[in-house]
Amino acid sequence: MNDISSPSGKLPLCGHCGASFTRATAKFCSKCGTKKKGSTSPQPTLGSGSSSTTATGSSRVAQRGSKGDTVRKPSEAAANLRGTISGTDTRQEVSGTTNNRLPPIQSSTLAPIAKNDSSTLESSEEGTLRATPEEEAKYTALTTLGPDGITPDMLQTANANELGTWRKGLLIGRGTYGSVYLGLLENGAFYAVKCVEIGDKAGAFSVKELVSLSREINMMQRLHHKNLCTFKGVYFDATSSAICMFMQYIGGGSLSALVKKFKPLPPSVIRRWTRQLLSGLLYLHSQRIIHRDVKGDNILVDTSCDPEQEAQIKLVDFGAARRLSDAVAQSRTVIGTPYWMAPEIVDVTGQSSGYSYKADVWSVGCTVAEMHTGKPPWPSQVNAAAAIMMIAQSTEGPTELPVQESTPGCLAFMRRCLVRDPEQRPTIEDLLQDPWILGEVE
């Protein structure tokens, strides 16, 4: 489609939507993201098919080059982003994680995440979380692009046209990064649709926000496990300037809501659901991902399965995980409710070297306590600021464990999770072999 000149003759108009390019040298339309005719920069097709795989690989090679190279062309960085969002990630993957038979994780060899590290993370052969110069250069380049280099349309997946037919239903949740609605597609399928509004009233959007969302989308496309919510795709609603992320809809409600209705849960149910929670976290950790916000509100219970089988629980809300590098940089300021967070995350002294996978282990202990009483094992009458100080300064751990409500085996399990020193805290893999989880003790 040919581009045409604006009435003033100074700036060309987009041949797709008719909007004026912001400058003569712009390669992409700032409104719809269409490449200007005559631009030679590669633009891989969105989607998760084989064609996007080739585009992703070639764009990364062109962008990275040899070790230490930096990104020079915004158009190439934008093309690389589109390839990443398509669902193909060429970073090192952990072998053997496409099914439930996961490789063992030696958490003791994983280095903690430094609090001043604001770059994206990648796993090395020995499993240590670290940033490569190439990855750091890539995201640095993306965050310095102008509106002509990256647009919201680039975050859409190949099925965006199908998702664009959705009808908005009831508001079913609201979080720090957006609202979640019940959505209905034309094929009759229901989805939980997380809508993140971007930009201001004038229509300008933050490139950094788009890059951050691209990380979340790329991560969710890679995750496949029975105890994680399934990701469907992304659609950009230009009318409301919202990125709409479609996830599996779980009708049973959150774990915290069910506990309030049925507390205390039967001991056998607590054990089964805890085992499933550990299974989902083991998979996340094998993918070098820390959830960082494990709690009852972020665990959904799928009651649509066979009544003869146990209900499946699903971990949701990867907002903290998707912004792992950002969360590291912001770790001195706790985001959200801190009652489930490990002491090394809510550290107020600035002396902690950071946190690693074992931060999720602490949250598991608090969540198991929540299954008994409907609340975390801390005094609930204190505000968030006081809770941060209480968790950071406590030397013995939580003060309100459900001693009377829980069985001896479950109580011992919680105490294993809630060891204050992360070095002495067990891994998720260790907890899956706990006598209480295995049913050897009550």
168 is in an annotated binding site: no
408-417 helix and 358-373 helix, angle to the nearest 10 degrees: 140
Q: Which of 423, 337, 414, 336 minimizes the C-alpha distance to 371? A: 414
252 exposed, middle or buried (CB, 10 Å; 0-12, 13-18, 19+)?
A: middle
**In angstroms, what CA-CA distances link 264 with 122, 163, 270, 386?**
41, 40, 9, 27
What is the Cα–Cα distance from 289 to 281, expressed in whole angstroms? 9
Q: Is 293 a catalytic residue?
A: yes
Token digits of residue 114 = 């430094």
Q: Which residues of 262-297 are buried (b: 16+ CB within 10 A; e: fewer)?
A: eebbebeebbbbbbbbbbbbbbbbbbbbbbbbbbbb
Q: How many CA atoms lie within 13 A of 57 on its CB side?
A: 5
Query: How many Å apart are CA 85 and CA 234, to the nearest integer?
Result: 10
CA 230, CA 316: separation in Å to the nearest integer? 9
Q: Name the catalytic one among 153, 200, 237, 293.
A: 293
Catalytic machinery residues: 293
As annotated, the binding site for ATP includes 194
Report the binding-site residues: 194
